Amino acid sequence: MATELLETIPKTFKYIYKLLGIVQFSYCKTPPKNKLSKFAPHLWCVFSYGYFINICTFYNSSNYNVKIMFYVHFLVYHGTVLLMIVLFLMFCIRSTRTKALLIRIDQNKMKSQKSAKNNRTLVRIILLGCLLTNVVFFIFLEVGYYVYISYCCIIISFENIFLNDIFDCLCDKFTLINQRLETLVTTSNQNKMDTIQDLSHHHYDLVLVTLQMLKQFEVVVTVTIVQWFVAMIDSIYTATVLGVKSQVLTARFGSNFSHIVFLSCWLFVLIAKFSKTQEVANSGAIILHEVWNKHASEQSKTFRHLELISMRMFITQVRFSACGFFNLDWTFCQTMIAALTTYLVILLQFYV
């Protein structure tokens, strides 16, 4: 039997995750009975790896030797190769640990709500809609660079969807804990301390699982964001130059513009989920502090116990970062906008 989260994933997505190598473990909770069953999930993505090697063999980045943009295309090409290698390696390395963490999430008593599942569906529609538009424009252009880039876009899109599903489930469990804590602010239940103690244990366990789950994705996220930055500069610069040349109604402009929209949506979905999870997880300590204030005038065991639990929740707050290089919140988007603007101004000076 699969975990609660894996059961909510549509069958189509399950097969796509397998074929792309994103999920390299069995969807069942029970461990494999023999070595062949243990190794079989890693074989699904053999054709995907072979297709990528084939693209790398026939694609030549030297076809785009246009002044300074030759170096940008050079970075895009080799950065994509590095990204795909990291993706394939990390997909294999993290498989066992990711499944173990999914089982731990499933063992938590807090159950997911229907609204959370609706949010996952919306994210899938947004990302896949942008991806489909991006790929459609690539069809009208020459094969090579664009097919190469679109293949990478497909993998990072489904990787983002899979990550979003996991953290949406965690976010929903934190929300349920906060809702139960909020009911204790207005009620005077005699078993209030037992309930708070139980909820604090759930919160602490979820924080640990959340941070451990981030470690399974942070290398992929870090490398993808670096490649995202280079690809965004390439697409915005090309679209700007085509706009200056009054070549807006062309397939090349449309492909670059759709690529910009896709990359923007990809980053927005990623940062939005990390930011929301961080906010919801850390708001539990604020709600508990309101319960603590109700007993502030009491110098009793209840007050001291609440003080201890409240301090522990404040200490065990969630902070998302990409391998410690930068925080994964909305301030990162502001930094990216400033950096993109700076580099684009420099590149446009070469064009002028």
Q: What is the pLDDT of residues 134-164, one digit of tens each?
A: 888 776 665 555 666 778 888 999 999 999 9
The SS3 call for residue 136 is: helix
Query: Could you give the CA distance from residue 105 to residue 107 in angstroms, rounded to a whole number?
Result: 5
Residue count of the chain: 352
Residue with the bigger pLDDT between 281 and 135: it is: 281
Helix, strand and coil content of the chain, in percent to the nearest 5, comes to: 80, 0, 20
Residue with the bigger pLDDT between 27 and 123: it is: 123
Average pLDDT, the chain: 79
Tens-place pLDDT, residues 300-335: 666 666 666 767 777 777 888 878 788 888 888 888
Residue with the bigger pLDDT between 273 and 317: it is: 273
Contact 237, 344 (CB under 8 A): yes
What pLDDT is recorded for position 196?
A: 78
pTM reported for the whole predicted model: 0.86
Q: Is the pLDDT of residue 169 over 80?
A: yes
Query: Could you give the CA distance from residue 289 to residue 309 in angstroms, rounded to a whole number?
Result: 10
Q: What is the mean pLDDT of residues 71-100?
A: 82
